[in-house]
Structure 1
């Protein structure tokens, strides 16, 4: 079993005493009853990822914010601080398996920001990631099983929210499928897609729950 502690890197970076870029990077730290070495390796992974994200904020995103802010005279019009926020959600934590996802939101001006999601499912007895195919060891064509299931879910959603998915969603969900884009919940596997992959921005990041069962 894993116990999760939260860590945070944050800063409000200024230009001429004006806050122009603010970042908050949340990341987990684990202890486990399964393998201390595995927890150490996984913790190191997330620490390095958080530090890399912070470096990107400081060396790439902050200069972009300054480049825009320096044209504003006497704060007219007011400059809305650019932001980067990375948060995580643990969705499954039982025995030696933990699954979680990270949503990274970047706002660099414009009408709205953009969110990118990535996820991991860990075996804390070995320190290894678990792949989606690990849950379908006897299903060589498990991806088609997933696609059919997702198509059925989208068809049902479109009955109540027309236009919430692109017309050619059946092809797009296959073209934009990435097997690493999944996480576990107690009731099953969740397949997700990035913004704009299969649906307009207003739909967000589409998620599809596949109950734990072996495809025929």
Structure 2
């Protein structure tokens, strides 16, 4: 039986989209270019009606006001601003109807029509780009954190802060394990670093990440094969049923590349039939001087009360964000998976661990400063 592939793939790693965003993306059609941004913009703009205002920013210590929009709690910024204030390269391709942002050894491509993104050739997931009045707007934090910038917000002055992060001198490319058929797909991306001053530790990190990706590929293929048998039996018993293709997908995110440390996570998304897939987040933090992984205690500056500090921070953030928990937060263990972001240790909740599926995988940041006393 021929399988039916959904026109727009949903993904649990993708933050919740407003219905209007999806509608706008689907309304944008391929017509001749107008004013540098492709036609069909009017339909998207009329559907969206973004409220663009002048937002105060502190960009590397320089105060300025930048046209921005707030969409369901997410700040969106026009691509022209990225060029004018940060010196990033920005362009619009009317043929592919895509926005490209380049700089800091990265190429970030956004396709507003279908809400997709790629970073250095890897598909990543986030709130879709929006076109309004011949200008493409991108989700600020989602884009700039991946381009090597730190993002902050001062509630008192209502000012967004953007700081250029001083990253380790190395390059990161994407390697891919790809096994795709009409009925199922297995695609795992993993990073490969080059150019780091310590070639021995660089090799150690690369070999480890490659072996990890290959091991998950084996496990994923086994799960897909078993699920394929189950789905085939179900379709044979129900001739009118057409299931979407099964999939196992690994997408990595570099979260920290500073001070001779490299931190990242890989989201392994599995769809084996049913209402939706599930995602497992696997994180790694390396000391690039040795090529070894760091423990949570080491990442927390070996502070003797690091667990109490992190647990207190998580409880406070749960309260501030008014998160509804499926069960009480009892605290994390010493071997809890973690990753780093600019200035902070991050703990994320797994799907259904404490929150509903719709919440995704909430992140809780504890500042490095909390472990300095």
Q: Does 1:42 align with 2:215?
A: no
Aligned counterpart, 1:24: 187
- Provide the rounded CA distance (Å) in 1 between the counterparts of 2:235 and 2:282: 35
Q: Kindly indicate whether the alpha-carbon contact (under 8 Å) linking 1:2 and 1:98 is maintained by their aligned counterparts in 2.
A: no
Aligned to 1:210: 366
Are 1:51 and 2:51 an aligned pair? no
Give the Å deviation of 1:123: 1.2
Q: Distance in 1 between matches of 2:195 and 2:289?
A: 9
1:213 aligned counterpart, secondary structure: helix
Give the structure with the higher percent helix: 1
Which residue, 181, 186, 191 being the options, matches 2:347? 191
Bigger radius of gyration, 1 or 2? 2
**Cα deviations by residue, 1:169-199 (Å, 9 ceiling, x for unpaired):** 3x2xx2x546442111112111112112221
Give the aligned partner of residue 68 of structure 1: 231
The TM-score with structure 1 as length reference comes to 0.85
Shift of 1:202: 1.5
1:38-87 superposed Cα distances (whole Å, 9 cap, x missing partner): 11111111211222222223333223213312442496311211111100
How much does 1:137 deviate?
4.0
Question: How far apart, CA to CA, are the structure 1 residues paired with 2:215 and 2:302?
Answer: 38
Supply the RMSD in Å over aligned alpha carbons. Answer: 2.1
Residue 95 of structure 1 and its aligned partner are, at CA, apart by 4.0
Unaligned runs of 5+ in 2: 1-168
Distance across 2 between alignment mates of 1:50 and 1:10 = 11
Higher relative contact order (CA 8 A, sep 6+): 1
> Which of these residues, 95, 110, 117, is aligned with residue 274 of structure 2?
110
Match of 1:2 among 148, 167, 170: 170
Q: 1:139 to 1:48 in 2, by over 3 A?
A: closer
Distance in 2 (CA, whole Å) between partners of 1:100 and 1:138 is 20
Question: Residue 282 of structure 2 contacts residue 337 of structure 2 at CA under 8 Å; is this kept in 1?
Answer: yes
Whole-angstrom distance in 1 between the partners of 2:234 and 2:255: 44
State how far apart, in whole Å, the 2-side matches of 1:152 and 1:190 are. 14
TM-score, with length taken from structure 2: 0.51
CA distance in 2, matches of 1:32, 1:67: 46
State the SS of the aligned residue for 1:194.
Answer: coil
**Which shifted more, 133-142 or 106-115?**
133-142
Give the paired residue count: 203
When residues 129 and 47 of structure 1 are mapped into structure 2, their CA distance, relative to the original with a 3 A threshold, is same
- Preserved CA contact (<8 Å) 2:246 2:273: yes
SS in 2 for 1:72: helix
Residue 166 (structure 1) aligns with: 326
Q: Which runs of no fewer than 5 residues in structure 1 stay unpaired?
A: 14-18
The 2-side partners of 1:29 and 1:115 are apart by: 23
Instruction: Indicate the SS of the match to 2:183.
Output: strand
Contact 2:287 2:293 in 1 (8 A): yes
Q: Which residue of 1 aligns with 2:291?
A: 127
Partner of 1:16: none
Q: Distance between the aligned counterparts of 2:300 and 2:219, measured in 1?
A: 37
